[in-house]
Structure 1
């Protein structure tokens, strides 16, 4: 979810205003996703939103305070969003939550608790996430368990495997043409869809529908 700060700057506002706009876009896309699945027999069962990277935590204390407030309010809002419950979506968090304010952690626990009994669809929310950090954690877990360190053992320790989710099929990225380390291990065969002419707050349901349609039209051979 990239471009909130630039969106705000272009309009003469502080960064936190852009983050609020970005949160609104996220809530709108959750509504679209639920509606899409209800008409497509759960065609997109899993989705991940990268809400906060590990690098984002190095920003100024003023911006982080505002960003944490946005996350707290948004997580609490999602916990009681009708489309989440209507679509029976379970929300899981991935990343490193160490160092986050208590009010953010409490909102995370609330959202996971309110949806833990659902299984029709799964929405992952990446908070404090870094691709290299995930790989390092997986390697350390393999070493700590005494297993032989190889591709198979590391694959069992990534977030996707831990949550019994298949590797990523499609990455949608706004405003940039790079993945920024998103799920480094589980995106080896992922298709990429870049929307360079839009910042995250400008993204619409039509953009996502176009991305899914583009993905469906591609021939996927997995390197074979």
Structure 2
């Protein structure tokens, strides 16, 4: 999506996954997150599996999607366990799943293991939207392209830059590389460090169609205050 096509803060809000993934997040904080998402019409609320049932309950009947992470934040989980985690999140109301790939297998050149890992989660959340986190800060460009290609082969709906819990977050260069790799067929989510309108604009111009951020309220409020999209 061209950043120039966004006409206001509502358009930006529709690209935001309002995110709370801290280990010490509390139920009252998740409730507030969901209420903010409803008020600002964000696209989704992204929380840890333990909170997805609460998020789904609060968001029921709205256009805001409850999203759960899987294999988060390391990806170093057996495929069947990731699949079970995804199935459990779906059973509790998750409409979207953000999974972390098997980074060690990718770096070792075991392409089949990476593809099968994603495919296992894909099968477990059939009918729900699947985003695949490739953790770009730990990969070189060739590995990033490979991870994106394997995600496409396994049936992902999105590729996503980062967990926000490793050594770096989204960069414009990585978003552009990922978009060039996957083409227009699936989404690209920029996540990790998207905290300003300038950064959001740059990510969208590079090809991002979702923004994972804990700063969504600040972004849309800045737009309403006159620094609009």
Task: Give the TM interval when normalised to the shorter protein.
Answer: 0.3 to 0.5
Pair member with larger Rg:
1
Provide TM-score, normalisation by structure 1.
0.39
TM-score, normalised to structure 2's length?
0.38
Flag the structure with more relative contact order, 1 or 2, with Cα contacts below 8 A and sequence separation at least 6.
1
